[in-house]
């Protein structure tokens, strides 16, 4: 009897150890793919000022920049469609096939942008091709977050879910940091001697990154929750329809959380590069390294706040984030400027505090708002829909409002209003009912 108990205990221990190993492998695969997605997707924002003259030449620099930012925003418009397409693949056929498909699409479309001829070479065909490839990037990005967050959530130990999931936004931020650093390095190396290469190099780096990511993702298994659901015959035949019929309130909350998170992301870490160069008149090479320092610090902080989220819960961490957005945005942006590199770095690093808290809390909140059957579709579509306004429209709006009113503090008002909206949404979240495969509703 004792031998049987010992054998059972050893078997359970081995199974648990194997599960932890697979969970770590799953987290690495999902996170590295998200690194590639956000590196590729963010490159456009960091070289927007350089792209403006190559694809949208104009006598008015602001008009050229607005055209370039409009293309940046166009990728967000198709992200919900990408969420539906890749989310359905994830909920119907598995998380792994969806994760492979998003990486392939993003890698090839980004590499193609780096190879595009400019307006001077082929005229209006150049911006048309740029828009097409940017839309393909948007489709890919729309499916990545839902697939990655759902996949890691379904592998991670319940008491460590926030920590495991936090590596997705943490590594994504590192992808943005790499994009910012690559843009700054390329500008420093090529802006004067070969300006056409200054914006191409960051995009061309996507191809080897895609190959590495594919190699890692091909080695992973699908999530235990999805495989159990598949074995039990519980796969949803129409996940989008079921999502709207059964979970509309949770979906709306997810969209609002995504809106708040992406406003902070794209105003505070992507548009800020355009803001520093075009509004504050900081040299491009300096801008790249300022953003690199700030968001590298964010990448290191997000897993730390993932552990904090496991301890205190997503709701409390998100509430703290939104309060810090309201309190810190104006004074930190007020001290940024070309006069002091160090002070600008300090200010941007401080603004990473609410940003990193928001990332850690939001990425745990997303998959916990929906059950396994519709999780990939719901998180992909909901996050992408919130991103349309939060990421696609806000950089354009900030540039337009600054040009119209002459108030360079416009971005801070947007971040503060963002914090107020976040507080309202987080107060509406309730615990899920017993027996549901989710934590919140």
Gap between the Cα atoms of 303 and 169, Å rounded: 9
Q: How far is CA 128 from CA 42, 52, 73, 116, 165, in A?
A: 20, 14, 15, 11, 37
Which of 73-82, 127-136, 295-304, 305-314 has the weakest average pLDDT? 73-82
Q: Tell me: pLDDT of 7 over 70.
A: no
**In degrees, to the nearest 5, what angle opens at C-alpha 169 toward C-alphas 328 and 297?**
50
How much is the pLDDT for 237?
Answer: 92
pLDDT per residue over 233-292, tens digit each?
999 999 999 999 999 999 999 999 999 999 998 898 878 888 898 889 998 778 878 988
- Given the structure tokens 């460590």, which residue do they identify? 160
Share of the chain above pLDDT 70, in %: 97
Average pLDDT, the chain: 89
pLDDT per residue over 50-83, tens digit each?
787 788 887 777 777 777 778 877 888 898 999 9
pTM assigned to the model: 0.86
Which of 145-149, 151-155, 366-370 has the weakest average pLDDT? 145-149
Task: Enumerate residues 6+ apart whose C-beta is below 8 A from 383.
Answer: 83, 145, 146, 254, 255, 258, 262, 366
**In degrees, to the nearest 5, what angle opens at C-alpha 335 toward C-alphas 332 and 340?**
130
Task: Enumerate residues 6+ apart whose C-beta is below 8 A from 183.
Answer: 43, 46, 47, 199, 202, 273, 284, 288
Q: Which of 165, 155, 158, 148 is nearest to 228 (CA)?
A: 155
């Amino acid at each position: 009897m004792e031998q049987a108990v010992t054998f059972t205990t050893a078997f359970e221990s081995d199974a648990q150890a194997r599960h932890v190993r697979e969970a770590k492998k799953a987290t690495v695969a999902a996170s590295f793919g998200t690194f590639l997605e956000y590196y590729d997707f963010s490159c456009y924002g960091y070289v927007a000022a350089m792209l403006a003259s190559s694809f949208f030449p104009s006598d008015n620099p602001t008009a050229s920049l607005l055209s370039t930012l409009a293309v940046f925003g166009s990728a967000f418009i198709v992200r919900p469609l990408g969420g539906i397409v890749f989310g359905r693949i994830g909920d119907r056929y598995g998380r792994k096939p969806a994760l492979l498909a998003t990486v392939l699409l993003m890698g090839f479309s980004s590499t193609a942008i780096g190879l595009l001829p400019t307006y001077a070479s082929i005229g209006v065909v150049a911006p048309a091709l740029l828009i097409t490839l940017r839309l393909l990037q948007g489709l890919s990005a729309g499916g990545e977050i839902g697939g990655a967050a759902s996949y890691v959530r379904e592998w991670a130990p319940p008491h460590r879910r926030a920590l495991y999931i936090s590596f997705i936004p943490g590594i994504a931020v590192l992808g943005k940091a790499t994009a910012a650093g690559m843009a700054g390095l390329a500008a420093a190396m090529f802006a004067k001697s070969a300006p056409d290469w200054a914006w191409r190099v960051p995009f061309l780096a996507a191809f080897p990154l895609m190959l590495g990511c594919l190699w890692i993702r091909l080695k992973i298994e699908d999530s235990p929750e999805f495989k159990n659901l598949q074995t039990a015959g519980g796969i949803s035949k129409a996940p989008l329809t079921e999502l709207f019929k059964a979970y509309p309130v949770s979906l709306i909350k997810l969209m609002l959380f995504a809106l708040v998170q992406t406003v902070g992301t794209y105003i505070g870490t992507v548009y800020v590069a355009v803001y520093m160069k075009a509004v504050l008149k900081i040299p491009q090479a300096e801008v790249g390294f300022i953003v690199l320092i700030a968001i590298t610090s964010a990448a290191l902080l997000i897993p730390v706040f993932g552990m904090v989220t496991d301890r205190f819960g997503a709701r409390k961490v998100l509430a703290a984030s939104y309060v810090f957005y309201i309190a810190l945005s104006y004074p930190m942006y007020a001290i940024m400027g070309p006069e002091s590199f160090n002070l600008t770095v300090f200010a941007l690093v401080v603004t990473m505090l609410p940003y990193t808290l928001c990332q850690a809390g939001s990425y745990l909140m997303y998959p916990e708002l929906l059950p396994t059957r519709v999780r990939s579709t719901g998180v992909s579509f909901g996050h992408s829909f919130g991103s349309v306004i939060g990421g696609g429209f806000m950089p354009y709006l900030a540039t337009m409002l600054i040009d119209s009113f002459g108030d360079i503090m416009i971005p801070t008002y947007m971040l503060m209003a963002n914090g107020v909206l976040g507080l309202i949404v987080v107060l509406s979240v309730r615990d899920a009912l017993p027996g549901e495969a989710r934590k919140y509703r």
